[in-house]
Every structure is written in structure tokens, then in C-alpha cells.
């Protein structure tokens, strides 16, 4: 008996030296403990949701198998360890097969310590033993596939549900161990028989997929925190626990540099620009990453601006035009009326003025002048929107007036006295306004004397004198001496 006790102590001390406290926990009241075993997954291992198309997730870690054991006084000389095996994602049939294999390994190594052999098998060979390959199918609670499974496998499901309460209880597992309920199964027993040592630790009514993904993310973060990275900004080497990694591109920067970067962007209102600093990289920081690096006040501003920018992209959301309100308003399809839920202001969603029913939006003269260019440069949808807002007649009028204005600008000059547009067809440069009868010079638009209008052209000090006699208007030199009516 002393030899067995000594072998047990040596084995437990060896396990404690190999595995950390999270993996191996020794029981205080008995010769036993608990071992959590993360199975080694092949690269690019995936989890898929059965019955849902194109729902596929890459995972590097799955929740561990938990081996609870107690060592009998005559272990390892005579008896094997008393154990239970539990999992969140394996079925009881699969775990029963593993329990049978552990019994076989004990038979093969009888009279020798076997816990380390069991651990190595579960970690390295369990997937191949159970023929589990990527992708691993999981059934979500409430899915169609889950409903079909419950109908076709009524008996196993009933067993799971009836045993879930007691099997999830850690004290119940210990009670089983103490009473010796984990006696080895006969090798001749049917592989489909459920082993009482196989324990489910998840409620079948709870969705398993989020638990798998959350565990995978937590384990990835744990591995990341233990590595050393060189920040791409300050070029200092730091542990992953002091760094931030962008999910999409996997570029890593230290938290000190990213905190300063995020603070500047949020203060400037550039909440859509919290992207990876790597040139031409479009990866964005997640809200959780931003929250971890900035204070509460800045994050509240970031959250508010991010919500506003998201609402701005929604076609069915507008803002109350009252500056003192500016509440987001949901707009019903095929209507131009918005009613603010905060101040009850009814407004037109097109012009943001008071609601005017089926009448077209009013337009100012200044807006009318620029309407033509905006309309002609718009897309098909933009033109339809403008026609809906102002009416086709208003748009047509704006286009016609715009073309007329362009023609007048190219072919006419304004009277310096009253501003009337005057076109010169032929004749001399002394013009007479058709509206106010004012004489003026076509070249410099200067007003001419009523008594002697041609003195302007004969005066050598006149700004138009040199132009006329140096080739600009030399073909009309003889016309200067004609009568006023010319």
C-alpha cells in the first residue's frame, strides 16, 4: 500500500509540474483532481451550423474536455482511477466511446500509472478516434435541423434533458466517484450504450454556438497576450497584453500609440476613420477596442457620432429640422411627411420646411439659378428626386432660363445705367440703350455725353482711343463719324 501511495504522489506532483493551475487542479480532500484538456485542432478547423447556408466559422480552440478523477488506495497495483468525462460540445455517445478507450488503455498499462497516458490520448488522438473532421457541425437551438433532430431522436434527447440537472452539478459528479459508479465498462458492451461516466455540462435548451465562439476568442486573446510584438508606430517591442490587433488585417500596434490616435480622431469627429494606421489598409477598430483605450467621455462622443453617421446612411431616417431638437425621425415609404417624435413638428422631408401637403416645395430665385447645373449633373435617381421636390415645370423653367442666361452672357452687355441687356449686331461702338435711351461705349461700357457722344472716341486720353486705332476696331473707323442713329 505504501508503494501505491508513493506512486500516486509522484504522479500528481508530475502533473502539477507539467500543467498550470488552469489545466490541472488537485483535490484537497482526496487523492484526485480535475484536468481540463483542450484538444489539438488541425489548421483551418471550421464550425458550421447545420441547416443554415454559408454559416461557417474558423476556430482554433474548442472548450476543453474535463477529466475528474479519484485514485483508489490500491491504484496503480490493482484498480484503475475512478473518473468522469464531461464536455460542452461532444455527444454522450462520443464521450462513452472515449470512456471505453480509457478503460482499454488501463488494461494495456495495468499496474502502471496511467493518467498521463490518458491525457495524451485525449489531447492528441481523440479527434481521430472519434472520426471528427472539419467542419464540425453544431445544431442551434430553435433551428429547423434541431427540430428535426428532436423528432427523430426523441429517446436520446429525453435522456439528456432528464439527466442534465444532476449531471451539471459538480457535487453530483463527486458523489458518483465516491460511490464507485465509474466502474470500467465491459469491452463487450455495445458501442451505442451510454456510459454513466460520460457527463453533459450544457443545457440542451441553450444555444451552444455562442459558447464555442466566445471560448475560441478568449483563448486566442490569451495566446496573443503572451507573445511579443513590435509596434508599427513607435517601433518598441511589447507584450500582446499591451498591444491592439486589428481583426481584419492582423496588424499590431501598442495601446499607447493607438490611444493617442483614437483620441485625436474622436475629438475631430472622424469616428469613421478609426482604421489601421498601415498605409492603404481599410481595417477598422471595433467599438469594444475603442472602449478599452479611451475614457468614458470620449467613448460616449464616439458612440453618439457613430450612431449619427449610421443613421445618415439610412434612407428612411431624417432629422428634425428644428435646430433645438434635431431628433432622428423614421419616415414611412412613399411619403414626404415627417413627424418628430420629440417635438411633434410636422415637416416636409424634401425641403425641411413645414409640411405643405401635395404642393411642390417652394424655391427661391437664387436656388432656381443653380438648379439647372445640379439637375443636369445628377444621376437618374437624383433627377427623379428633384422633379418630385420642385415639379417638372419648375425644373424645365430653370433649365430654359439657364440656357437663356448663358446666351445673354455670351452675346450681350448690360447698360451701365439701368442694366438692360443690349446686343450689338453691327455698326459703331456708340450704343443706345433700348430701355433708358442712355448712350454708352460698347468697349468700356462708359456712359457717353448726350451733346457730343463721339468725343469719347476722338479723345486721345480715352481708354478706347488706342484700341480703335491699333487694330482692335480699325474696320469701323469710318463709322465713328456717322450720325447718332447709326
Q: What is the pLDDT of residues 204-250, one digit of tens each?
A: 677 788 888 888 888 888 888 889 999 989 999 999 889 999 888 88
Which three cell numbers, joined as nine digits, stand for 293? Answer: 483605450
What's the DSSP call for residue 207?
-
pLDDT of the residue at 318:
80
Please state the rounded mean pLDDT for residues 17-29.
87
In this predicted structure, the answer to whether residue 137 has a pLDDT above a threshold of 90 is no
What does each C-alpha distance from 468 to 88, 410, 478 come to in angstroms?
A: 100, 22, 11
Residue 365: pLDDT band by 50, 70, 90 thresholds?
A: low
Instruction: Answer yes or no: are the C-beta atoms of 440 and 417 closer than 8 Å.
Output: yes
Q: Assign 3-class secondary structure to 273-294.
A: HCECCCCCCCCECCHHHHHHHC
Q: Is the dihedral of CA 201, 121, 140, 146 positive or negative?
A: negative
* Of 11, 138, 121, the residue nearest 63 (C-alpha): 138
Catalytic status, residue 428: yes
At 101, the pLDDT band (50, 70, 90 cuts) reads: very high
The whole-number pLDDT of residue 461 equals 76
Choice among 243, 351, 415, 428 that is catalytic? 428
Average pLDDT over residues 7-21: 90
> Is residue 173 scored above 60 in pLDDT?
no
Residues 31-87: tens digit of each pLDDT: 889 999 888 888 888 888 876 666 788 888 999 999 999 999 999 889 999 999 999
Q: Which residues contact 53 (CB under 8 A, 6 or more apart)?
A: none
What pLDDT shows up at residue 468?
A: 57
**What is the C-alpha separation between 96 and 114, in angstroms, rounded?**
19
Any idea what DSSP says for residue 445?
-
- The pLDDT of 150-158, averaged and rounded, is 34
pLDDT tens-digit map of 448-482:
888 888 888 777 777 777 665 544 443 444 444 33
**What is the chain's mean pLDDT, rounded?**
77
Q: What does the pLDDT look like over 323-362, one tens digit per residue?
A: 788 788 877 777 778 888 888 888 887 777 788 777 766 6
Bridge-based pairing state of the strands 430-432 and 65-70? unpaired
With both helix axes pointing from N to C terminus, report the angle between 115-124 and 2-18 in degrees, rounded to the nearest 10. 30
Q: Of 10-14, 355-359, 369-373, which one has max mean pLDDT? A: 10-14
Amino acid at each position: 500500500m505504501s508503494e501505491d501511495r508513493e506512486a500516486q504522489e509522484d504522479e500528481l506532483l508530475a502533473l502539477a509540474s507539467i500543467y498550470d493551475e488552469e489545466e490541472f487542479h488537485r483535490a484537497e480532500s482526496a487523492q484526485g483532481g480535475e484536468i481540463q484538456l483542450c484538444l489539438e485542432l488541425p489548421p483551418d478547423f471550421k464550425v458550421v451550423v447545420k441547416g443554415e447556408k454559408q454559416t461557417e466559422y474558423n476556430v482554433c480552440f474548442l472548450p476543453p474536455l474535463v477529466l475528474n478523477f479519484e485514485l483508489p488506495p490500491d491504484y496503480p497495483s490493482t484498480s484503475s482511477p475512478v473518473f468522469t468525462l464531461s464536455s460542452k460540445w461532444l455527444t454522450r455517445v462520443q464521450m462513452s466511446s472515449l470512456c471505453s478507450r480509457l478503460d482499454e488503455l488501463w488494461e494495456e498499462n495495468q499496474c502502471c500509472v496511467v493518467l498521463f497516458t490518458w491525457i495524451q490520448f485525449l489531447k492528441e488522438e481523440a479527434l481521430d478516434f472519434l472520426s471528427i473532421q472539419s467542419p464540425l457541425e453544431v445544431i442551434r437551438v430553435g433551428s429547423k435541423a434541431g427540430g428535426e433532430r428532436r423528432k427523430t431522436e426523441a429517446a436520446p434527447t429525453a435522456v439528456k434533458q432528464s439527466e442534465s440537472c444532476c449531471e451539471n452539478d459538480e457535487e453530483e459528479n463527486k458523489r458518483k466517484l465516491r460511490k464507485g459508479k465509474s466502474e470500467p465498462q465491459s469491452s463487450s458492451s455495445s458501442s451505442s450504450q451510454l456510459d454513466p461516466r460520460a457527463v453533459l455540462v450544457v443545457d440542451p435548451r441553450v444555444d451552444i454556438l455562442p459558447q464555442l465562439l466566445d471560448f475560441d476568442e478568449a483563448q486566442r486573446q490569451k495566446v496573443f497576450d503572451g507573445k511579443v510584438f513590435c509596434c508599427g508606430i513607435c517601433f518598441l517591442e511589447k507584450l500582446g497584453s499591451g498591444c491592439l490587433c486589428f481583426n481584419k488585417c492582423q496588424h499590431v500596434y501598442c495601446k499607447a500609440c493607438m490611444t493617442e490616435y483614437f483620441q485625436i480622431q474622436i475629438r475631430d469627429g472622424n469616428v469613421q476613420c478609426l482604421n489601421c494606421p498601415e498605409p492603404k489598409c481599410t481595417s477598422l477598430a471595433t467599438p469594444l477596442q475603442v472602449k478599452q483605450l479611451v475614457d468614458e467621455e470620449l467613448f460616449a462622443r464616439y458612440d453618439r457620432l457613430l450612431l449619427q453617421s449610421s443613421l445618415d446612411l439610412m434612407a428612411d431616417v431624417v432629422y428634425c429640422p428644428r435646430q433645438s431638437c434635431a431628433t432622428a425621425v423614421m419616415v414611412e415609404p412613399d411619403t414626404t411627411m415627417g413627424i418628430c417624435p420629440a417635438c411633434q413638428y410636422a415637416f416636409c422631408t424634401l425641403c425641411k420646411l413645414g409640411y405643405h401637403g401635395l404642393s411642390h416645395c417652394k424655391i427661391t430665385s437664387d436656388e432656381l439659378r443653380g438648379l439647372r447645373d445640379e439637375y443636369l449633373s445628377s444621376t437618374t435617381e437624383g433627377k427623379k428626386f428633384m422633379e418630385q421636390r420642385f415639379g417638372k415645370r419648375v425644373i424645365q423653367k430653370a433649365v430654359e432660363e439657364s440656357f437663356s442666361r448663358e446666351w445673354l452672357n455670351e452675346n450681350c452687355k448690360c447698360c451701365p445705367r439701368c442694366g438692360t441687356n443690349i446686343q450689338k449686331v453691327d455698326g459703331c461702338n456708340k450704343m443706345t440703350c433700348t430701355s433708358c435711351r442712355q448712350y454708352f461705349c460698347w468697349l468700356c461700357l462708359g456712359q457717353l455725353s448726350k451733346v457730343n457722344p463721339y468725343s469719347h472716341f476722338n479723345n486721345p486720353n480715352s481708354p478706347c482711343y488706342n484700341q480703335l486705332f491699333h487694330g482692335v476696331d480699325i474696320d469701323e473707323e469710318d463709322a465713328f463719324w456717322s450720325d447718332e442713329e447709326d
